[in-house]
Amino acid sequence: MHEFSFANHLVQVVMKSVEKNNVKKVKSVKVHVGEFTMIIPSFLETCYDIIKVNYPELEESRILMEKIPGKVQCNECGSITEINLGKGSKEPRDNVIPESLARPNIFKCSTCKSADTKIVGGKEVTVKSMLIDE
């Protein structure tokens, strides 16, 4: 499962910081989820909950997710366009592949309308901050 490897990565990042700073209990972890990761938030949460039981410092923690837009850069004019795929719905329906993903290079530059673009952001999950119990 795609979400499981992301959740595992998150736990590793958090635990590195926990060990470095001698944190006893983590209350919450704020995470930025890129638009192009195609992560289903409830799956990621479930995976995190499965992994965290192995770490006493994380047992009572939860992840707070914030979607961040994907970014494409235009090969013609160099400007960056932000992409939001799932407008309107909170979670992607998993049996529907958005047309924009089925057809590469559909992401058009908002400046010059060129379809010659490359993805430069939104494919990652990053830990932004942690709330801890002293």
Residues that bind Zn ion (CB under 5 A): 74, 76-77, 109, 111-112, 114
Q: How near is the Cβ of 32 to Zn ion at its closest, in Å? A: 26
Residue closer to Zn ion (CB basis): 28 or 114: 114
Q: How near is the Cβ of 103 to Zn ion at its closest, in Å? A: 18
Residue of 67, 48, 33 whose CA lies nearest to 1: 48
Residue closer to Zn ion (CB basis): 37 or 117: 117
Q: How near is the Cβ of 25 to Zn ion at its closest, in Å? A: 48
Reduced DSSP (H G I as helix, E B as strand, rest coil) percent helix, strand, coil of the chain, to 5: 30, 30, 40
Residue closer to Zn ion (CB basis): 7 or 83: 83
In the chain the first and final C-alpha atoms are separated, in Å, by: 34
Rounded to an integer, what distance in angstroms lies between the CA atom of residue 80 and that of residue 60?
39
Rounded to an integer, what distance in angstroms lies between the CA atom of residue 6 and that of residue 21?
23
Q: How near is the Cβ of 79 to Zn ion at its closest, in Å? A: 5
Residue closer to Zn ion (CB basis): 60 or 76: 76
